[in-house]
Amino acid sequence: MSLFEKRILISDLCEKLDTYMPKGQVEGVYQAYIMAAAAHDGQFRRSGEAYVFHPINVAMILAELKLDYYCITAALLHDCIEDTTLTHEDIVNDFGEEVAHIVQGVSKLTGLEFHSNIDKQAQNFRKLFLAMSTDMRVMMIKLADRLHNMRTLKSMRRDKQLRIAKETSEIHAPIARRLGLNSIRVELDNLCFEIINPYRYKVLTRQIKKQCGNRKKIIKHIQREIENRLKQEGLDKVKITGRQKQPCSIYKKMKIKQLKFSQVLDMYAFRVIVDDVSQCYQALGIIHNLYKPLPGKFKDYVALPKSNGYQSLHTVLFGPNKIFIEVQIRSEDMHFVSEYGIAAHWHYKSDTGNPAE
């Protein structure tokens, strides 16, 4: 792997960071990449890729969540103390105590196993929760690290894939959910489901494709109908996205509610983002006039937020062409918390010029 090819990837990261981070900090992140690339030189992953691809991808996952300079820098260096000749003092000298502290915290969690005996598991959980209480960014790097490892897991033996996927499903995905890191949690869940239940994954994927047909056309049609009606009623700045639900979420619903595939109603989900709380309820009324709501399927997480801070209005509707759809309605602020979870704290701090302590 040439240095030029590595730079293409780090340039993608720097381009992303340029959208929310001061130029001087982006340059600092690039210097951390130079240190990581030199430290990991000659190291390769099981896939055959140069090892430096891994920390860059971990940093990119965190950049998508708009994490601060210290966290992104630590992400690039997160394996250096454990796997290279670099020391804690080297990182302190070049990037300061805060970055070194985060890297040290990640290193302490390296190699924790949760399939061992009960006493060992308890000890490992204590280490995990201590790291979370000391600096939550340590846990966020570990979650991003696990996500990239799950994305590249197929280069490993089947038995190891299964062990890692089960651990991820039981430990990492629930932590991501608790921290409100929805995008990470959803992807972890889906990757785990495909590995742990490959047959069910294939069958459900096939059934979804058969039932939903031309899903892109259906989603686009419903999006247009909702958007047009909301704009007619004066909600001009509304943002709407639509998606087909993933096999993992459908399987979970089938399992929890003991349903057959044919009994799962809401295969499609739509997200409506408005300016404020009052517009959430205004949009709900307009959409209920457009499509008939399904009785007993409305949840108000705006008035009664989830424990991780999540807020949104959820409703299931009889859509066009006898299709059931779920619609989530939230404000811009609610959407920010939903997407970034605990990471929103560091994004807010960086906006005010005060990095999180």
Tell me if residue 65 falls in helix, strand or coil: coil
Least confident of 15-19, 66-70, 132-136: 132-136
Q: Which two tokens stand for residue 47?
A: 């896939």
Residue 227 burial class via C-beta count within 10 angstroms: exposed 0-12, middle 13-18, buried 19 and up: middle
| Predicted local confidence at residue 1, as pLDDT | 40
Q: How far is it, in rounded angstroms, from Cα 268 to Cα 273? A: 17
* Domains of the chain, residue spans: 3-181, 200-340
Helices (H), 40-135: 53-64, 69-76, 80-83, 88-109, 118-134
Please tell me what DSSP assigns to residue 309: -
- Is the pTM higher than 0.75? The answer reads yes
Topology, domain 3-181: Hypothetical protein af1432 (1.10.3210)
Q: Beta partners for 13?
A: none
Q: Beta partners for 327?
A: 270, 315
Least confident of 19-23, 324-328, 353-357: 353-357
Mean pLDDT, range 126-155, rounded to an integer: 84
Are residues 271 and 325 in contact, defined by beta-carbon separation less than 8 angstroms?
A: no
- Exactly one of 82, 94, 300, 339 is catalytic; name it: 82
Q: How far is it, in rounded angstroms, from Cα 81 to Cα 89? A: 10
pLDDT at 352 over 50: no
Q: How far is it, in rounded angstroms, from Cα 176 to Cα 189? A: 10
Give residue 345's pLDDT band: very low, low, confident or very high (50, 70, 90). low
Radius of gyration of the chain (CA): 22
Q: How far is it, in rounded angstroms, from Cα 313 to Cα 284? A: 8
| Predicted local confidence at residue 164, as pLDDT | 93
| Predicted local confidence at residue 299, as pLDDT | 97
Q: Which residue has the higher pLDDT, 133 or 136?
A: 136
Mean pLDDT, range 258-264, rounded to an integer: 86
Q: How open is the CA angle 137-138-141, to the nearest 5 degrees?
A: 85
Q: How far is it, in rounded angstroms, from Cα 252 to Cα 270? A: 19
Is there a catalytic annotation at residue 83? Answer: yes
Give residue 349's pLDDT band: very low, low, confident or very high (50, 70, 90). low
For 200-340, which CATH class?
alpha beta
Cα 63 to Cα 6, 24, 101, 342: the distances in Å are 18, 16, 19, 14
Alpha carbon 33 to its chain's center: 23
Domains 3-181 and 200-340 share a fold: no
pLDDT at 122 over 70: no
Condensed to tens digits (0 to 9), the pLDDT of residues 213-241 reads 667 788 899 999 999 999 999 998 999 99
Is there a catalytic annotation at residue 333? Answer: no
- Exactly one of 49, 83, 233, 339 is catalytic; name it: 83
Give residue 357's pLDDT band: very low, low, confident or very high (50, 70, 90). very low
